[in-house]
Structure 1
């Protein structure tokens, strides 16, 4: 196959990169002159499409034996755009377009939170390439940027569609900013999150597979506001995974670190 085998995985990475760029274009109004689609929901939808396609580049690379350092760096760059910059722009411009008075009064807070989130996403991806990719095989160290981007994109659409911005005088207006800050910090925190992998329990694997299939279906039809409970399902699923997963990681922390050190020693031999 030669170098042609690298085309497939890099094609998926290219799609993720462009989806992230297009998400930013939607939410900032760059495409508003030729479409009447809701820019916030459309931008969030592009982020979710990136989430759904994110694993395909790695799967394709393993399938055709085309893993490379270039592919790893390109993947991290596309993740920074799709799950770092795009969600931050989505939250920022949601406030700017839907709640302009609140935006003017709290612009500094938004800029600071925006900056922290994007920096944490960049550091998370750099840390993964430099330290974690070959260290923890069954756990994530910190919140993956994929989940951070998905949570922020889903949340802002959910709140917008349920009239969250109708009353702009309450403390509830800080919720998306708070979530963006927390998810940003979680990306660089020293907590462990179990990866979605096949387990020894076949019943658990079936249950996990069903949830993944339903999630993919919900993700692809997310653009429609006619289908009820999509945002609720996705938010409950993501929140449950993070709370339970980080809880398990905290309980098993010493064991996870010990296994990682053991694997390092074995690889050096």
Structure 2
């Protein structure tokens, strides 16, 4: 019976991702972000449960990546699609909301919005590589899809909750969004070694970088709120490169 627990948690991740897709398509991006975060929590605990119960399996590995493809791959692509559509002065809600003048060949959304799905395609490549790469057990090569998803979803959360005209102008600029999409896609598959938050012991000496990252992330979240998320991703990459040099 215990062998089913991790897979059940993985399916909850997938179910959360499905709900997030619905909200993202409806342009309710704050709710989409909420269910992506919930899915990422389930994603963390399915691996944790598998290790604690000693029931890790090949099925679990494949199922985990399939769930992540929806929660951390498809949803960020839809979110960037929506933001790019908004950068053209229109919101796409279930096929409506684009003015006649914005339509192209009958499409009810600006074609530039499709660039957002570059992140979805890059996430698929990232997850496929992870499944066949035996070197990504204690560390990652390239930004993990959940971290990338959080970085993408920070954009609408900043728009909704920070209400800063300067930041809004940047985030809804099409060139910023295109550049952000390309950087996100690159980071997913870059040959950058990043540490995993897996503690073999609770010793500070053995996990100094991890503790520093967690404490720093907490301070940033308290002070900057949703603006902290991209900063945390940069901190994660910086500390990983520092850790590699040691």
Task: Classify the TM-score, shorter chain.
Answer: 0.7 to 0.9
Deviation at 1:81, TM superposition (A): 0.3
CA distance in 2, matches of 1:164, 1:174: 17
Matching residue of 1:19: 16
Matching residue of 2:138: 138
Higher RCO (Cα < 8 Å, 6 or more apart)? 1
- 8 Å CA contact 1:99–1:168 kept in 2: the answer is no
- 8 Å CA contact 2:171–2:177 kept in 1: the answer is no
Could you report, residue by residue, the CA deviation over 1:138-168 in whole angstroms, capped at 9, with x for unpaired residues?
3211111111111001122213433559977
Deviation at 1:236, TM superposition (A): 2.2
1:1-269 matches, within 5 Å, as 4-29=1-26, 39-96=28-85, 100-101=89-90, 104=102, 107-111=110-114, 113-131=115-133, 134-161=134-161, 162-163=163-164, 172-198=173-199, 201=205, 204=208, 206-208=211-213, 210=215, 214=218, 229-246=224-241, 248-249=243-244, 251=245
- 8 Å CA contact 2:84–2:112 kept in 1: the answer is no
CA distance in 1, matches of 2:110, 2:243: 37
Unpaired stretches in structure 2, ≥5 consecutive residues: 92-97, 104-108
Unpaired stretches in structure 1, ≥5 consecutive residues: 30-37, 219-226, 253-269
Deviation at 1:246, TM superposition (A): 4.2
Deviation at 1:110, TM superposition (A): 2.6
Point out the more displaced range, 60-69 or 158-167: 158-167
Deviation at 1:67, TM superposition (A): 1.1
**Gap change, CA 1:16 and 1:203, over 3 Å in 2:** closer
SS of 1:185's equivalent? helix
CA distance in 2, matches of 1:24, 1:63: 31
TM-score with structure 1 setting the length: 0.71
SS of 1:143's equivalent? coil
**Gap change, CA 1:194 and 1:99, over 3 Å in 2:** same
SS of 1:100's equivalent? coil
Could you report, residue by residue, the CA deviation over 1:100-145 in whole angstroms, capped at 9, with x for unpaired residues?
349849933331x2332111111111111112xx224332111111
SS of 2:226's equivalent? helix
- 8 Å CA contact 1:13–1:57 kept in 2: the answer is yes
**Gap change, CA 1:192 and 1:203, over 3 Å in 2:** closer
Aligned length: 226
CA distance in 1, matches of 2:9, 2:170: 43
SS of 1:19's equivalent? helix
